[in-house]
Each structure stands twice: as C-alpha cells, then as structure tokens.
Structure 1
Amino acid sequence: MNRTIHQWKKTVSLTEQDMELPNGKSITHTTIVHPGAAVIIPLTEDNQIVMVYQYRPSLRKWMLEVPAGTMELGENPLNCAERELEEETGYSAEHYTALGQLTPMAGMCDEIQHLFIAKGLNKTARYECDEDEIIEVRSYSIAELESMIVSGEITDSKTIACLYKAKLCGHLD
C-alpha cells in the first residue's frame, strides 16, 4: 500500500511503500510518483532547433533546454507534446515523430519521458506559462547545440539524451 508523504501540483507526489524485492528482502521504498512527460525537439524548415532558455528555481539558474512538460492526469503523450510545444514556444507542428522514452531517475522516480521530434512548425499565439515558469524562446543549429553540450553550457539530461537519440535515428544532421 502506498502512503502519500507529500503532494505537489495535483500530479506529482512523494510516496512510501513496503515491498519485497526479487531477492526476497523486504524494504520500505520512497518513490516520486510522476504522471510522465513529453520532450520535444521542434525542428524548423531551415534545420534550426527551437529551444527554451528557462529559469529553474530548484537550481537557481537559467537552463537551455528543449521544450518539455508534465502530462496532465489522463493525458496521452502526444497531446501533452502538442500542448507543451505551443505553451512554451508559441509554435504548433504539423508532424510529430515518436523517438521512444527516457527514464530519468529510475532509482527514485517512476517518471517516463516520451520523446518527439516536431516538424512543419507554425507560429501561434503563445499560451501563458505556468506561474513558476520564466521562458525565453531561442533557436540554434545542431552544431551550435553540440558545441554547447561539449563545453558544459547545456547540462540538462533530457535535452542531451533527446538530441542524441534524434541524431542516432537520422533526424538531425
């Protein structure tokens, strides 16, 4: 039985559960329960990647990241990707290609991040961000982003993993 220790934004909680491991040992395990997220690489016609430069209060610093966001309860990953792309960047996309999944913190969190590449971008009216989001929209070439990853300017794991996965799958030159 899960015991909720803390609830945040109606979708994320910290729970504790007594369980038996595959080796027969009984433990009490604490898990961050998360509904999942969508992570999007918005690719323009001229092969620029639309990024968000976002202030992260937990780290007290600005981070350059691909757009992403938490799924609402009952929301499917593609609908989340569509919603988050428009909310964070002011773009919609004609085509989405699923790139698979990431498990960002498997030791303590059940979150699954669903990766997408979005093409056929169209400028829309940007929705209002969440109250804790401060975002600037910027665009870069894959070469510029790779250079920023190597230099340590980009440290966000979902961004690095999603860009690399898209490149390995032949979506980025």
Structure 2
Amino acid sequence: MANRIIHQWKSISLVEEDITLPNSKTVTHTTIKHPGAAIILPLTENGDIVLINQYRPSLKKWLLEIPAGTIETGEDAITCAHRELIEETGLQASEMHTLGQVTPLAGFCDEIQHLFIAKRLTPNHSHTCDDDEIIEVVTMSLKQLQQKIIDGCITDAKTIACLSKATLCGYI
C-alpha cells in the first residue's frame, strides 16, 4: 500500500504507511516526515555561549535553547546552520565545525539533527525572525549554562545534546 499523507504543515508531514519489519511482520506505522535541522552552539571569543530565549507555542512557554532551524529544500545542513545563526541571533560565524548528528524522536519521526559549533562570531544586521518566532538573545558562561541544565531551567534536548557533544569533542 502507498504512503498516505494524513496532514501537511510547511515542510513537515504526517505519513501513514504499511511496512515490513525485520521479523517479516507487516504493520501500519505513522511517521512525522521532517527534512532535518541544523543545531548551532555559538561560542564567543571569551568562551561564553549565545542562546536564545524563544516562546514555543506547542508548550505555551519560553524555552532557553541554542539556535536551530529546519533545513530548507535544496539547502545543506551547514548552509542552514549559517542562515539560522544569523536569523535568530544577528551573528555570523567565520568558523563552523560539525559535531555529527542526533536522532531526537526516532520512535515516530525521521528528523536528523545536524550539530555544529560556531566560532569567530561577528554581528550581522540582516537578521529577521520567522513570523511565528519570538526570540530574545542571551549570552552566558559555560558554568552558568551547565547550572541551568542541572537546575532544570534548560530542558531542551538539542541544547543538552549539542553541548555534550561539543564538550566530549574538546571544543569547550
């Protein structure tokens, strides 16, 4: 049976399909199809981290998180990372290092999140947020950021994953 699109919103769709599992059993599975995202950990010259405080309508609350965004059609992950950094923070990076990928919601979504660390930041005044984004830029030390994670003030999984990967890779 063919894929059945149940709902479409922007570049994200809810798709139902019949699939055969490795044990040869056929099941109907519903997946959120997502083009992927770029997640950016912006690091200032003195080692501080640039975050955004963003209102998230799905949760009806503000989340303190690192900049991120959905990859557009025809765009690669690093181009998306550069674009989203400018759009959400008003900063551009002359150094962007890849930290690999994470799969945030593998049980029901095919999204791949591409992790980056951005360095050598300079202002770029051409930034504009999307119509549905309300964002405040916040800068804090690594120690402050880690404490906010410990205290439960930062619960955003992509922020915690990217910070962990950057730390494990020796970037911070």
Structure-1-length-normalised TM-score: 0.97
**Offset, 1:126:** 4.5
Partner SS state of residue 79, structure 2: helix
On the 8 A contact 1:90/1:126 being kept in 2, the answer is: yes
Tell me the distance in 2 between the aligned counterparts of 1:145 and 1:50: 10
Q: CA deviation at 1:70?
A: 0.3
8 A Cα contact 1:4 1:15, kept in partner: yes
| Counterparts of 1:102 and 1:74, CA distance in 2 | 21
* Paired position in structure 2 for 1:31: 31
Which SS does the other structure have where 1:85 is aligned? helix
1:89–1:126 contact (8 Å) kept in structure 2: no
CA distance in 2, matches of 1:115, 1:71: 12
Unmatched runs of 5 consecutive residues or more in structure 2:
none
Taking the aligned partners of 2:126 and 2:27, their CA distance within structure 1 comes to 46
In 2 relative to 1, CA 118–8 (structure 1 residues): closer, same or farther, beyond 3 Å?
same
The percent of aligned pairs where both chains have the same amino acid is 61
How far apart, in 1, do the equivalents of 2:29 and 2:66 lie? 32
Partner of 1:61: 61
Q: Give the secondary structure class of the aligned counterpart of 1:122.
A: strand
The letter for the 2-side match of 1:147 is Q
Q: Does 1:8 align with 2:19?
A: no
Give the structure 2 partner of residue 159 of structure 1: 159
Question: Cα offset for 1:127?
Answer: 1.9
The answer on 1:138 being equivalent to 2:130 is no
Runs of 4+ deviating beyond 3 Å = none
Structure 2 counterpart of 1:95: 95
Report the alpha carbon displacement of residue 144 of structure 1 after superposing the two structures with TM: 0.5
Distance 1:87 1:160 in 2: 21
Contact 1:93 1:121 in 2 (8 A): yes
